[in-house]
Structure 1
Amino acid sequence: MSATLSAAPARVKRKIREAALHRLRGGPRTRSQNAAFAALLRDLGALAAEVSASAAWGDVQLTRAVVDLQAKAAADRLEADDAVALGLGRRAWHAAPSGAWDALLVVGQRARWQYPEVGKRVAEVLLDARPGSAAAREVARDSRRRADKLSGRAWRERSRRRPTDGTLPRLLDALDGAAPEAGADDWFAVEEALRTGPGALVPAAVPVLRRSYVGDDHADTPFLVTLRAVLARGLTTGSDVAPLQEVLDTAATELGAARPGLPADGAAADGAEEDGARDGATPGAPIDVQTMSTAGLREYFAGRSVALVANSADLLDLELGPEIDAHDVVVRFNSFLLDAAHTGTRTHVHATIHLHDFNWDVPVDGRLVFGGAARPWAASLARHLRPGAQRWVGDESVRWPRRTLLDPETRERCPVPTTGFNTLLLLDYLDVSTRIDLYGFNFHTGAPLRRPDAMHLPVADAHDYDAEREWVARRTVDTAPGRISLR
């Protein structure tokens, strides 16, 4: 046979070799699946490296899931024969006894809410391997819905089907009057209008309402959500919102919104709540606890000295505990750790991002829970709040102070403020405290001081610490070792 093969023409030899190689290689479907998995694994590794510095719990969980997936994929290639089989496509990446498919499913479940496009791609690879998986279909469905939610595509399409000559558009046109058309930064214009007098809110808000009603690309939220926000701002600031009564009545008839009464003097009406489920509003968390708006917080902090204590190891070099505890209100953040001599022991307000699950069981007067997206924020409240651990919790009007309390330039520099900075923005806006002292605020130039189970969290690179430091510096009236005074 060998003599015959050696005497054969080169063309015949080549065909024989190609046939032998083809028999060694797997089918085209398996090779395609393995190539898609390898490309996805590479991109997931890059994403994990990018978000690994984030202190957000969702990013921490995603990073861990990707690392576990990488470990499973590497284990599948430890043996040379297995590596060759995977490389040639004779074995699929998800074939038993590999644990890669289950590990990739966890990655998809972790990514679908924060990174829906990643979730959709993960689901495609999962379903290509196991088309009948209900769990993979759930990841695909949730990722698709989340992507639509973030883009606003669903509510914009519904809004654009509304008649532009209906009752609501006519009412909004009648309210507009000579008010100037707001620019792209609508909500900042609304907040600025609040400074000019109680009657300025409605004219400034009408362009925002009109854009949300018709699903304009510049609108940030659906109409009922926007209407609710305008009413909340008006009622909590004593503005005249009575002109919106007819708009609200019509919305109740046409869109299914609740119909609270709006007193002409701007006082809060009992039961002022909007369902808004048909237009994308976020229902309140089913927690038996008092909620606190900006009006309630203004009363809580009025005439009181406030200490904001950062989670900084710099405080271990100073014995400021008694000085901190001497304040009327002590605010601590996220995964704080108490040390009587260095940080004090009193905690009146716990401020935290909604993704963290640290110190929610510590008894406090109130909890300020910050989050940029309304629905995950409400879900976190329902999941994390411990009954009886707080008398009040900040409501949606103080969910994301960065949204309405920063000028456009600073807002652009601070897309994701730290928890401490969000609290500072709120206190500065309320402007009722006799003294505001910051302890241990080094803007993450030193080591952290946290609970032991949170010490592994890295310093998040999503924050602009320089911008926050400059904001604080412009308002500083006094300094001492470990302390910055803003009042």
Structure 2
Amino acid sequence: MTKPLAGLFKARQKEAARPALYARGMRLCGEHLAVQGAGTTPPQARLTQAIGALAASLDSPAADHFDALLQVGERALEAGGDSGLGLALGVAETSARIRERSKGAWRLRGLALDGLGRGDEALECYERYVTLLPNGEAAPEVARRMDTLRRRRACLDAAVALFPEAGSALRDLLGQPHATTAAVSPRFAAYVRARVAEHGLGDPGVRRLLELYGTYRRLVERAGMPDPLLGGGTPIGVGGLRGLVAGRTVCLVANAGDVAGSTLGAEIDRYDLVVRCDAFRVRAEGTGERTDLHAVSLRGDTPWEGPAWTRPAGVRLVFGDPAAAWRRATRERLVPGAQDHVGDASLRRPLGDPALLGEDGWGTATTTAFTVLRLLDFLDASPRLDLIGFTLPGRLRPREAEWVMDRATHVDDSKMRIALR
């Protein structure tokens, strides 16, 4: 044990001897605030709070300065824009110099470079991040970006190889260390137009070039899917969902501490179909262990940027509007093999869809729990439909709770159960 501990102490001493790097990180934060101000949007406000936490940590020997610095980088990524991404990159570079083997620093650096359009550099950072992981397996969102960047570069290399002499200018640009997507894309488009004009659309090389260009443009617009079939997951519509729940007892479990702290787990797992919502935690004794249906609602202006849905589920329903945001979020956040079935577009907004329930007045802020409950009640295929953990006020919105209690057939406060069948 002596040598590992000695190595740890040396690493800490080496880090403690680098106050200039933390000062550099603080200076980057100050420069950002001087130009941008505190900001009024939630991401900007969280960034300002993170900068304040970093400043406070530097005056506290017991605080984790490094973690506070990385948090600034993460919040800068959320703030976005050239300024936010530039700050995130500066923080990541500083963090990597403080701890050369920090997984968080290399991941942050890759994400910042990726956002700035410096794909080749981002891929190098992602690969360094993966080598530092114990199992060598990147998080799904990073794996998706790595696959996308590799495929984009492959398209460019193959396109240049089709007409080697004419592609020298584009090849030179690709060889520059800081080439960005913003610089490469128009040059690639000009290269394609020139080859079409020179050889005509009937030329096999031109046809292949157009195919490569189309693939490249799609991969620039949206991340690729390493497994478009989602590990064999089957899309289902309204009829398919009804068939899956028909004749089965169903319970909807709240994401609440009193449920997790209860002893209802075995009773919950006795239902034929256990439904959970959004970001949930499982404690076998209190919440049960199974998740047969997971429902999640997309929130915010960029819902595709949320964490991937990695928890295993029999059925995953994603509620969201507009359609374009729903499509992008499902492409980028669904994980192959994490679900057997996934709801298709016919189930993305069941309350407001005139082809389904089409009920007015619920609005876009309806809780996920009520949305999936109302959908299951509408399908009218389950002999038993219970809610666990929703007996206390505040678990549902007032109008939602009123709807539930108007239709409740039995309420058991001792087991936090409301029965609708």
TM range (shorter): 0.3 to 0.5
The structure whose Rg is larger is 1
More helix by share: 2
TM-score, L = length of structure 1: 0.41
